Structure 1
């Protein structure tokens, strides 16, 4: 049986372990479910690395810090982790938070492997200290736009809130769809309640509404309002950022939360490693693991490979190792490269799917498109 998760904030101080700092959102307003899945993947992989002999005979250890989706808190955590002598920093789910952590890690010369955040501009300048496993937002959201076009959608509304992440997503969709005959109507939910959003959707004659907003508020009230408006019976509701991935979505929305396409980063079929890890994650979480849990596991697989390569050199500072990575992850072979327009080392790309919850069986996911 897997060892129970270690409490956040605990660490050894006798120098016997090789430590990795882990940034995860574990309290509100962070997306707590995502943080729990990310941490489960990180911890499972650490457990397995140590069962296999650790790093040059030394145990690998996570030093966990809760970001609570706060960029300033994340940056301060990076400073603290650096002072504790961690070999690298890993994790984070929220893009704006990961960007703050990446900037601080780059300034300190501390390696940071970002597990889940997708914002293209993770750093302002090119850096060899930061790498990312998740696909860049421009890649994933263009895959999503291809799905929309293939489903016949040309006039699309986005319900948005102020955020660098949502603004970036809107721009990606607009720039990709426009030359292909599509158009994007932007609806700012600060100015429109759910009923007013429904009226706008009717007035603009859109066939799809994308939720570029927080969960559960205001995403859940928006879904309920659209589902109950007979004028919008044929409209598609989408959530490219992945809000329907986690159980809370189905719990809060029931059948209304089905048939809402979103992005996830898994292959259609897991290989032997992915299947074994998926079973172990299910046991650890008590439910089916999300793609975020697999991202957490793969993060440690990569860092363990990097750290082993540094044994006999400087295991406490493993700067600039990403170009040499070639490891088997749960979702395929992981290598990093320099990608045009992206300033960090990037895995190009993790498998990308558009899926939804099956209306006939909301706990089952249907693959609608792969890119």
Structure 2
């Protein structure tokens, strides 16, 4: 997942060391197995997503340590804030490598994860990407990188099928400049066009929300998809569309998942309901998912998003690789195709997938959902 500020942020200085999570730190002798964590914790990153991802990572580390750590050695999470900046993320990978981490985990924004993956491959540090979905996470195949989130092409094709099934094949996408949004637009256009649908692209930076409404009317769009950052410009666009009587029957969609977090409802109220999005949670969690979900709820003070579950699963997978193959970085990277781990959302195994250069979980659950108050409504199965 990867919505807030997926346009390339301005470069910023290399990050100064930020506080590490204390999970596993301070044990007798000070020995620990260090895991680096990349998380957007400040703007222009999507801070709400970062908070959920970090909660999952931290809970995962606590559970690993409660079960005896890695051969009796505790795990320590060394957290770095990417702030949605690719250069900052790449610098953080270098820093974490110098600190001796066994692997790097996390990240939410696709353009940032892509920069982190490239750097991890270059310096030889295993990177397990939690949430970013861009198919081309690396330019070339690599043994050093694996991913839990589904590839964008997988989820967004499912979303296109949902639009067609709902009679919404004449689709407009409101976009901003970004590798991620451009990739999403291409996936939707190719999939819809091959099945009798169509896509018209509208530049959010070149139109006011009111002008976008006029363009939607002119094109006769039956659906408008928000391929833009949250809260700006997504919130004012939704408000404008909801207020335009000419567009009373149009479907507003957000395949990238902006409505997943509580901030969406807080900003939009009733206007934010009825906007289908992609979720990577099963319709019903098993006993492990239920237990982890309750503990995440206690940490967050709200319902955990699928991003929080991705964080927990990430640490659990890395811990199994460390236990079964050792803490040497090359050994961790070599473990990807041999792991079979019970995650919160089902059994996790990695394989090679055509068109994707990293080890990929094929596939996490993918649903198109809506919100009814705080509850999910499943629109597809």
Which interval holds the TM-score relative to the shorter structure?
over 0.9
2:369 aligned partner: 355
Q: Does 1:80 align with 2:91?
A: no
Q: Does 1:364 align with 2:370?
A: no
- How far apart are 1:8 and its partner, in Å? 3.2
User: Residues 261, 246 of structure 1: CA spacing in aligned structure 2 closer, same or farther, 3 A cutoff?
Assistant: same
SS at match of 2:183: helix
Aligned ranges 1:1-371 → 2 under 5 Å: 8-9=19-20, 16-311=31-326, 314=328, 318-358=332-372, 362-370=373-381
SS at match of 2:108: coil
- How far apart are 1:345 and its partner, in Å? 0.2
1:4 aligned partner: none
SS at match of 1:321: helix
User: Residues 155, 48 of structure 1: CA spacing in aligned structure 2 closer, same or farther, 3 A cutoff?
Assistant: same
- How far apart are 1:237 and its partner, in Å? 0.2
Note the residue ranges of structure 2 that are not aligned, 5 or more in a row. 1-17
Over residues 79-114 of structure 1, what are the superposed CA-to-partner deviations in whole Å (9 max), with x where a residue is unaligned? 000000000000000000000000000001100000
Cα root mean square deviation, aligned: 1.4
SS at match of 1:180: coil
Aligned partners of 2:253 and 2:64: how far apart in 1? 38
Aligned partners of 2:288 and 2:201: how far apart in 1? 42
Superposition TM-score, scaled by structure 2 size: 0.92
- How far apart are 1:315 and its partner, in Å? 6.5
- How far apart are 1:191 and its partner, in Å? 1.1
Aligned partners of 1:237 and 1:339: how far apart in 2? 32
Aligned partners of 1:191 and 1:238: how far apart in 2? 20
User: Residues 369, 8 of structure 1: CA spacing in aligned structure 2 closer, same or farther, 3 A cutoff?
Assistant: farther
Aligned partners of 2:328 and 2:311: how far apart in 1? 24
Aligned partners of 2:21 and 2:50: how far apart in 1? 17
SS at match of 1:196: helix
Aligned partners of 1:60 and 1:72: how far apart in 2? 27
SS at match of 1:158: strand
Note the residue ranges of structure 1 that are not aligned, 5 or more in a row. 1-6
Aligned partners of 1:189 and 1:316: how far apart in 2? 44
User: Residues 309, 367 of structure 1: CA spacing in aligned structure 2 closer, same or farther, 3 A cutoff?
Assistant: same
SS at match of 1:318: helix
Over residues 253-285 of structure 1, what are the superposed CA-to-partner deviations in whole Å (9 max), with x where a residue is unaligned? 000000000001010100000000000000010
Contact 2:370 2:377 in 1 (8 A): yes
Q: Which runs of 4+ in 1 moved over 4 A?
A: 10-15
Aligned partners of 1:152 and 1:314: how far apart in 2? 53
